[in-house]
């Protein structure tokens, strides 16, 4: 899409909320993952290097004097690393020339694409300014990757991650709790931890599963081929993954509104006990208390387990519970749902 003077894509990581967005290609070259609908119905387009350079020039004109305050930039869309290395070097050079205050340039990178790059090529991009790659690990389980039609293998995920790290580029892996469903949850947690242990990424970012109504995964769920896990199930899964991660110095980040326990954050190994304790505190709650916290967190009233002790916030959540009960009772569209299913339905369209 076009915003004023130049072309930008539909999404970026939460950590790039304040970054300059430059669209290197349009949409996703794979676009077949069962859980993702961001680019469904769209055709992948490679932008020429001249188009991208023109966008950078127009962005610089658009921001004018404000360009001096821009410190970070993010290259869109789903897999900017498809661009040839010589062309990407030209993009990085132009970006740094037009926005001289930029200190960090980042991008999404698909594992199967990155695995085909040499360490030398990636290191060259790093020297030119590419500081971080955001890579969708999602799961390290071969069975889950196949079920989700991810188009990458565990071996590619490890190979790509190791190359990125060796090249001096910061690596941010994205992990999707819940993606193994009720059947493969344990394998999903253990094999995902195995990939993390093999690579030692700089960051592991949690992106809890939300099954969108227009996704292939919804069709799998409706057919009975995939059982959507509950919130407590996913907390157990996260706990097992955290418990199994070892020999790394990665930082785990829970920086997305889809994550129930956003306070699960820390660096391995020193913060592992605190992260496990957070999981255990939630799992030790009674079913009614768990539901109360889930509704509080999903309605953005609670941001931590400690918030349950705040009487003002507690009453606000109880009022939200009463409103949900009334909606389920009076609205035919919600009839038959329990409170947690009602909340899941509201969360379906969150990216």
- CA dist 329 and 336 (Å) reads 8
Q: Quick one: which H or E segment has residue 223?
A: helix 216-223
Q: Name all domains of the chain by residue range, CATH numbers in brackets.
A: 1-108 (3.30.420), 133-284 (3.30.750.200), 286-351 (no CATH)
pLDDT of residue 333: 79
Structure tokens at 310: 């705040």
The stretch 178-198 carries a mean pLDDT of 98
- Residue 59 is predicted with a pLDDT of 94
Residues with Cβ < 8 Å from 137, sequence gap 6 or more? 111, 157, 161, 173, 174, 175, 192, 195, 196
Tell me which of 44 and 293 has the higher pLDDT. 293
pLDDT tens readout for residues 203-238: 999 999 999 988 999 999 999 999 999 999 999 999
Pairing type for strands 2-3 and 6-7 reads antiparallel
Tell me the pLDDT band of 113, cut-offs 50, 70 and 90.
very high
Rounded Cα gap, residues 22 and 16, in angstroms = 12
Give CA–CA dist 78/76, Å, rounded: 6
Q: How confident is the model at residue 334, as a pLDDT?
A: 80
- Assign 349 a pLDDT band (cuts: 50, 70, 90): low
Ranked by mean pLDDT, which of 16-30, 81-95, 334-348 comes out on top? 81-95
Query: Most distant CA pair in the chain: distance in Å?
Result: 63
pLDDT digits over 269-286, tens only?
999 999 999 999 999 999
């Amino acid at each position: 899409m076009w915003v004023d003077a130049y072309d930008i894509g539909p999404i970026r990581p939460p950590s790039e909320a304040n970054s300059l967005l430059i669209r290197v290609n349009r949409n996703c070259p794979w676009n077949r993952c069962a859980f993702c609908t961001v680019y469904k119905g769209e055709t992948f387009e490679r932008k020429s290097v001249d188009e991208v350079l023109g966008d950078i020039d127009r962005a610089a004109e658009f921001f004018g004097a404000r360009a001096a305050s821009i410190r970070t930039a993010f290259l869109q869309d789903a897999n900017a690393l498809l661009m040839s290395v010589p062309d990407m070097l030209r993009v990085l050079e132009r970006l740094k020339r037009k926005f001289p205050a930029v200190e960090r340039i980042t991008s999404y990178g698909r594992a199967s694409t990155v695995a085909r790059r040499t360490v030398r090529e990636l290191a060259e991009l790093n020297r030119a300014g590419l500081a971080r790659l955001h890579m969708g690990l999602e799961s390290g389980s071969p069975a889950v990757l196949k079920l989700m039609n991810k188009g990458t293998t565990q071996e590619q995920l490890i190979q790509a991650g190791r190359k990125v790290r060796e090249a001096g580029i910061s690596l941010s892996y994205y992990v999707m709790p819940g993606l193994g469903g009720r059947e493969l949850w344990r394998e999903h947690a253990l094999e995902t931890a195995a990939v993390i242990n093999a690579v030692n990424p700089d960051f592991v970012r949690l992106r809890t599963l939300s099954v969108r109504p227009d996704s292939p995964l919804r069709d799998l769920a409706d057919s009975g081929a995939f059982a959507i896990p509950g919130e407590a199930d996913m907390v157990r899964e996260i706990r097992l993954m955290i418990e199994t991660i070892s020999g790394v110095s990665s930082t785990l980040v829970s920086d997305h509104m889809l994550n129930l326990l956003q306070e699960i954050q820390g660096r391995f190994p020193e913060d592992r006990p605190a992260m496990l304790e957070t999981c255990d505190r939630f799992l030790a709650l009674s079913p009614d208390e768990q539901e109360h916290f889930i509704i509080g967190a999903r309605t953005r009233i609670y941001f931590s387990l400690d918030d349950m002790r705040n009487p003002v916030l507690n009453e606000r959540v109880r009022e939200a519970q009463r409103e949900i009960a009334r909606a389920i009772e009076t609205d035919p569209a919600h009839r038959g749902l329990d409170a947690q299913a009602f909340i899941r339905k509201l969360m379906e369209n969150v990216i």
